[in-house]
Structure 1
Amino acid sequence: MQTIENLKKTLGGIDTQILETIKKRIEITNQIGTLKIKTGEPMFVPEQERKMLDSLSKRFDADIFGIESMWREIMYISKREQQKLKQTNKNTITIGIQGGKGSFNDIAIANFLDKNSFDKEVKIEYLYTTEAVLESLNSGAIDYGQFALANSIGGIVEETITGLGAYRWTQVENYHIPVKHSLLLHPNASIDSIDTIMGHEQAIQQCKTNLTKMYPHCKKIGGTDLLTDNASIAEAVANGTLPKTTAAIGHESLASLYNLKIHKKNIQDQNDNQTTFVLVKL
């Protein structure tokens, strides 16, 4: 007759076998990663991962055994080890950020790099959205990612919270910077001609009260799709993608970057406005 103690010993043996098998799997995936580095093949192929998960789900009852979630965890461990191999074998570190050039994300990562150094050259990729950052991180296209997590006025950044649940990541550090918004106009526009004010939904929220008081006649629009980020909106105003009757919200440095003029500085509702950013890796 089986006893609980005997069954526990049997389980212990099975657990040891599982761990040894996972260890062997990581060794093999590392060998594959090394070969891919030599041949220049992409380290991670999402379509291949999906096929593997679909195959496992057909062989087992995924709903009962949680095969997909368990296997995603195993693959995540393998991907993380392969990413370490990739970083060891290249001369640069790539950090993908949520914003564009001149955005507060850009300023935040510059501040972080001023205080912290990597042992390799750092390259910044402007990815504009949190989802794009996390997707690039999980595909191996970037080594680290950064995005805004929360603001002292606007609260939690919704697009970040949505993205965090869909991807795997590990927090490296979090930090905050002061956020002071300016109203930016096309060089040939006057404030009297402006009928729309556009910015990231968080920027609109952080300036909501002042914008309503100072520019009651203007529509206030949070950017979407390719025009989600303050920097991309500022660029669109400058190059004519958006009409001259649209004003952008963002850091004052966007004016010099995109040849815009600053109509008014410090339009945020609170002078002590600040945003918390998170640096992540696999």
Structure 2
Amino acid sequence: MIVGVLGPAGSYSEKAAKKWAKKMEHTDVPVFNYYEDITDTFSAVVNKTVDYGVVPVENSIEGSVGITLDQLFENEITITSEIVVPIEHCLLSKGSLSDIKIILSHPQALAQCRNFLKTHFKNTELRTTGSTSHAATLATEFDEMAAIASRSSAEMYGLKILIPNIQDHNENYTRFLVIKSKYKTSNIKSIPTEHLYKTSIIVYLDQNRPGALYEILEEFAKKEINLTKIESRPSKKALGDYLFYIDFEGSIQDETIKSALDNLGRKVKMLKNLGSYPKDN
């Protein structure tokens, strides 16, 4: 089983993938292909270079990962699982605190540590990288470079943990999605039916019609379907034109869910079903 993740080794995406593989109790030991960015991971899934991909979709501090939402819309994929991973960012370096002139990390990690950086490194240059583990590899080159990355990255690349737990809130979690090509048969055994499921969809409304969004929400309310997330994202067609990303409890196999989606399909310009998958508890 080949799994695509953000690389290099030691990324939080890899951590999520390992947690997922253990949870699935798959007989094959996962082999990881590492990619520079989320777009490349999606491409590997769509082209079937990998069996599955693991991508970050939202963080408890910084919210949704925009590029992942865009790629979910633009590609023919299916979500097979979600994995929630606790995030502990550490300041890593070969040198000491007084040596640091440049701090590197993924844009999400830098944003999650915004207050820390403003307080302690206000005049320090910040540089973005494709992943936290990529930042860690770069920080091995010079004493004046530091990375915001995980403890495992420190161990993997021989860096010192100068300051642990530097995220702005201790309760920091990232939700990852496990995705596969829509046209690839899954070789993962099915989850027991008593497991709680979620379903993710994208809808495009007729936004020139008053009450269009209300009609969508009303459909879920009438059938007592619990929405866990609703978010707008620019359609990139015109200013003020949006797609809506909706997560809710339940599986497409449930008759209530099927009925709701059938009704929604008649009320919107476009409905894309991203899949039903076991909820990570």
SS in 1 for 2:74: coil
- Between the aligned partners of 2:29 and 2:167, the Cα distance in structure 1 is 35
Deviation at 1:219, TM superposition (A): 2.0
Deviation at 1:150, TM superposition (A): 0.6
SS in 2 for 1:278: strand
- Between the aligned partners of 1:180 and 1:252, the Cα distance in structure 2 is 8
Deviation digits for residues 95-132 of structure 1, max 9, x if unmatched? 11124311111111111122212233321111132111
**Greater strand proportion:** 2
TM-score when normalising by structure 2 = 0.62
One-letter amino acid of the structure 2 residue matched with residue 251 of structure 1:
S
- Between the aligned partners of 2:78 and 2:154, the Cα distance in structure 1 is 35
SS in 2 for 1:279: strand
Shift of the 190–121 alpha-carbon distance from structure 1 to 2, 3 Å rule, reads: closer
Say which one has the larger Rg.
1
| Corresponding residue to 1:127 among 14, 35, 38 | 35
Shift of the 247–103 alpha-carbon distance from structure 1 to 2, 3 Å rule, reads: same
Contact between 2:19 and 2:83, CA under 8 Å: does it hold in 1? no
1:179 equivalenced with 2:87 (yes/no) = yes
One-letter amino acid of the structure 2 residue matched with residue 268 of structure 1:
Q
Deviation at 1:206, TM superposition (A): 0.4
Superposition pairs of residues 72-221 of structure 1, within 5 angstroms: 93-186=1-94, 189-221=95-127
1:231 equivalenced with 2:145 (yes/no) = no
SS in 1 for 2:119: helix
Stretches (4+) displaced over 6 A: none
Q: Which segments of 5 or more consecutive residues in structure 1 lack a partner in the other structure? A: 1-92
The equivalent residue for 1:274 is: 173
Deviation digits for residues 210-238 of structure 1, max 9, x if unmatched? 11112223122322xxxx11111211221
| Corresponding residue to 1:255 among 148, 154, 161 | 154
Residues 203-212 or 159-168, more deviating: 159-168
Deviation at 1:161, TM superposition (A): 2.4
- Between the aligned partners of 1:138 and 1:255, the Cα distance in structure 2 is 32
Contact between 2:45 and 2:52, CA under 8 Å: does it hold in 1? yes
| Identity across matched positions, percent | 28
- Between the aligned partners of 1:100 and 1:271, the Cα distance in structure 2 is 25
- Between the aligned partners of 2:174 and 2:78, the Cα distance in structure 1 is 20
Deviation at 1:265, TM superposition (A): 0.2
Deviation at 1:193, TM superposition (A): 1.6
One-letter amino acid of the structure 2 residue matched with residue 276 of structure 1:
R
SS in 2 for 1:96: strand
SS in 1 for 2:84: strand
Contact between 1:182 and 1:252, CA under 8 Å: does it hold in 2? yes
TM-score when normalising by structure 1 = 0.61
Q: Which segments of 5 or more consecutive residues in structure 2 lack a partner in the other structure? A: 182-281
Contact between 1:98 and 1:148, CA under 8 Å: does it hold in 2? no
